[in-house]
């Protein structure tokens, strides 16, 4: 069933768990996320980044993902991750996205507030929850390369939320997009400090490669949405490469694309388990 991130994240905040949010690149990866969520009986968020939007087209993605969500047996939100500008926000809303992020984290504090406030007005009229980012997640996300980690200041977070009216906030605590060169060093306590300052749900970006124990600790401190992207890309690629290696003469794309889909499904199931520990500990 097509839902909004507002419904599921509000429930997660109240219940002390997190919703898994997964970036997809194609139909097979999107199916894998939904199939995993149905098997785990858990709400889930399908996400696309600006580069995926440019590659496939936002109307096509919006209609495809909305169709998957509508037919799903569990709540599924369709989310624009790292929306670059107001034009993209409006296009996503018109394409059927039920959740949107505007990313002004590379701007200074006041300019970030201005951009986010404008996006919040657009989304408010349409009844779509808006996520914003304060501080900066490191690494590379699509075409944008971070200038370095910027930790979210709890005091600034309170002011930012009051002045913008956003529904959820992505925070900087030491995570990075892409592949980590070594174990990330997270300021997990900062999540708790921010959670005491603002009442809205908090979001963790750059989670691929973060130890499961650290993810759980962040959730215990107040994270309500956990984003995964690189992990899924790696798993899909492994599945396709293995299938082609095992059957080099195969010419039907369904053979190797379905192999990638299966690997992503298993990876998503594990991450849903980490986000939502209501499941029995020996599920896996």
Q: Which residues are catalytic?
A: 81
Rounded Cα–Cα distance for residues 274 and 268 (Å): 10
Q: Which residue has the tokens 């499961």?
A: 212
Q: With beta carbons less than 8 A apart as the criterion, state whether 205 and 175 touch.
A: yes
Q: Indicate the angle between helix axes 188-197 and 212-221, nearest 10 degrees.
A: 20
Distance (Å, rounded) from C-alpha 157 to C-alpha 146? 20
Q: Which residue has the tokens 């996320």?
A: 33
Question: Are 1 and 59 within 8 A, CB to CB?
Answer: no
**Cα 231 to Cα 48, 159, 214, distances in angstroms:** 15, 34, 16
Rounded Cα–Cα distance for residues 170 and 203 (Å): 4
Chain position carrying tokens 């839902």: 3
* Residue 91: CB atoms within 10 Å: 18
Q: Which tokens belong to 12?
A: 């997660």
Consecutive H or E run containing 269: helix 253-275
In sequence order, which residues have a C-beta less than 8 Å from that of residue 77 and are 6 or more positions away? 2, 3, 4, 5, 8, 43, 44, 45, 46, 69, 98, 99
3-state secondary structure of 181: coil
> Who's near 63: CB < 8 A, 6+ residues apart?
95, 96
């Amino acid at each position: 069933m097509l839902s909004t991130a507002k419904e599921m994240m509000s429930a997660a905040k109240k219940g002390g768990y997190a919703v898994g949010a997964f970036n997809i690149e194609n139909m097979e990866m999107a199916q894998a996320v939904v199939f995993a969520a149905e098997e785990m009986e858990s709400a889930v968020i399908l996400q696309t980044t600006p580069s995926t939007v440019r590659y496939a087209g936002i109307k096509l993605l919006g209609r495809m993902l909305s169709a998957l969500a509508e037919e799903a047996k569990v709540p599924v939100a369709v989310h624009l991750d790292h929306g670059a500008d107001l034009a993209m926000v409006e296009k996503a809303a018109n394409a059927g996205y039920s959740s949107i992020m505007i990313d002004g984290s590379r701007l200074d504090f006041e300019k970030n507030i201005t951009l986010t406030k404008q996006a919040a007005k657009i989304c408010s009229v349409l009844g779509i929850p808006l996520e914003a980012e304060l501080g900066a997640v490191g690494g590379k996300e699509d075409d944008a390369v971070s200038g370095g980690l910027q930790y979210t200041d709890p005091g600034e977070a309170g002011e930012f939320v009051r002045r913008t009216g956003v529904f959820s906030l992505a925070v900087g605590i030491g995570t990075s997009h892409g592949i980590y060169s070594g174990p990330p060093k997270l300021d997990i306590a900062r999540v708790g400090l921010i959670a005491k300052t603002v009442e809205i749900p908090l979001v963790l970006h750059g989670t691929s490669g973060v130890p499961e124990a650290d993810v759980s600790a962040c959730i215990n401190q107040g994270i309500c949405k956990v984003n995964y992207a690189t992990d899924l890309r790696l798993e899909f690629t492994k599945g396709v490469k293995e299938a082609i290696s095992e059957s080099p003469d195969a010419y039907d794309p369904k053979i190797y694309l379905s192999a990638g889909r299966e690997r992503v499904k298993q990876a998503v199931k594990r991450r849903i388990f980490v986000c939502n520990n209501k499941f029995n500990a020996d599920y896996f």
